Structure 1
Amino acid sequence: MLVAVISEGQSMEATIVLPVGVRDLLPRDLPACTWSGSALHLREVERALARAAAGEADYLAVCTPADLPVAIGGVDYQVSEGAGTLWQLAVLPALQSRGLGTLLIRAAEQRILRRGLHRAELGVEEDNPRARALYERLGYEAYGRTPDGWDEEGPDGVIRRYETMCVLMRKDL
């Protein structure tokens, strides 16, 4: 549905409602996911898709009716015994705070349950209070802290190590 009210001299405003669906992320989707990170990040996602094909992980996409991913993230079943570990969760920046992250996490939790597991875990950077608030709203509780790090590619193409501290969170499903 598209609703627009236009008056001369006033700014235009519209509300657009589009259905979205959740499915497995596929290698063919990667060119449409450049919003989620650098080329180095997308190579990591590609490796995660190979792990998903081997049954070690799930990697999901929330997609528009045009089948374009607007939120992505994985569930790793090799990190913690008896749990699925959510990782690499990302929502297209222009669509954040619209419920897509919640939808993605709920779908990931369903995948964990289908594996016969009853706990979801994740790590959230201490300096990301919006993400932590989302996880807490969804029932995740902090249980520890751990340092984390990964390689990042800067705009200059130089790869640097990014170090951070994460809050570990979990939820019984």
Structure 2
Amino acid sequence: MSLLPAEAAEVAEVVVRVVVRDLTPADLPACSWSGSATHLVKVARELERAQAGEVDYLAVCTPVGLPVAIGGVDYQVTEGAGTLWQLGVLPALQSCGLGAVLVGAAEDRIRARGLRRAELGAEESNPRARALYERLGYVAYGSRPDAWDVEAADGSLRRYETMCTLMRKDLSR
């Protein structure tokens, strides 16, 4: 068996159409890439809030319906704005534009409710996410600490603490 040198490797571009739709409870088993079992239980609770109209929870899906990016818009956090949260993209597909598709769809949902501002918090330890949001027109306006429980490998819960840069975007344009 012989291997080709790296410079002889073929590069091909593959274009896959995606669709953005509401995330459903049936999608959750396919979203294990987004976090622990504890996280998915929390997402399931958010889907109940979506049924009540308090949030939208979106999925960017492949042609066979598999979610490759998910995230929510909470309309209860700040009056007059939709707050984007729990945004995530399947790690193998990060930097392929799916995050931008997800954020754009979330902004469309916010506009559809007659709101003209989107807000989010970008972890200061995640400069790639902040750079994406800035490219999409978000502007920093402050910072605040945030924390949530995460499941360790042994199944125990620990508190994750972080500092977030608060960002917003005017959607009236």
Q: Match for residue 24 of structure 1?
A: 22
Deviation for aligned residue 1:14? 3.6
Q: Match for residue 120 of structure 2?
A: 122
Q: How many matched pairs?
A: 166
The 5 A counterparts of 1:52-71 are 52-71=50-69
Deviation for aligned residue 1:13? 4.2
Q: Match for residue 40 of structure 2?
A: 42
Deviation for aligned residue 1:107? 0.3
The runs of 5 or more residues in structure 1 that have no matched partner are 1-7
SS of residue paired to 2:13:
strand
Query: Which whole-Å CA distance do the structure 1 matches of 2:3 and 2:36 have between them?
Result: 41
Which region of structure 1 is more displaced relative to structure 2, 26-35 or 10-19?
Answer: 10-19
SS of residue paired to 1:94:
helix
2:99 to 82, 101, 119: 101
Amino acid at match of 1:16: V
Amino acid at match of 2:49: R
2:157 to 149, 152, 159: 159
Residues 78-113 of structure 1 show CA distances to partners (whole Å, capped at 9, x for unaligned) of 000000000000000000000000000000000000
Query: Which whole-Å CA distance do the structure 1 matches of 2:102 and 2:84 have between them?
Result: 10
Amino acid at match of 2:125: D
Deviation for aligned residue 1:18? 1.0
2:78 to 80, 84, 87: 80
SS of residue paired to 1:155:
coil
| Higher strand proportion (structure 1 or 2) | 1
Query: Which whole-Å CA distance do the structure 2 matches of 1:54 and 1:145 have between them?
Result: 30
Q: What TM-score, normalized to structure 2?
A: 0.93
Structure 1 vs Structure 2: percent identity of aligned residues? 72
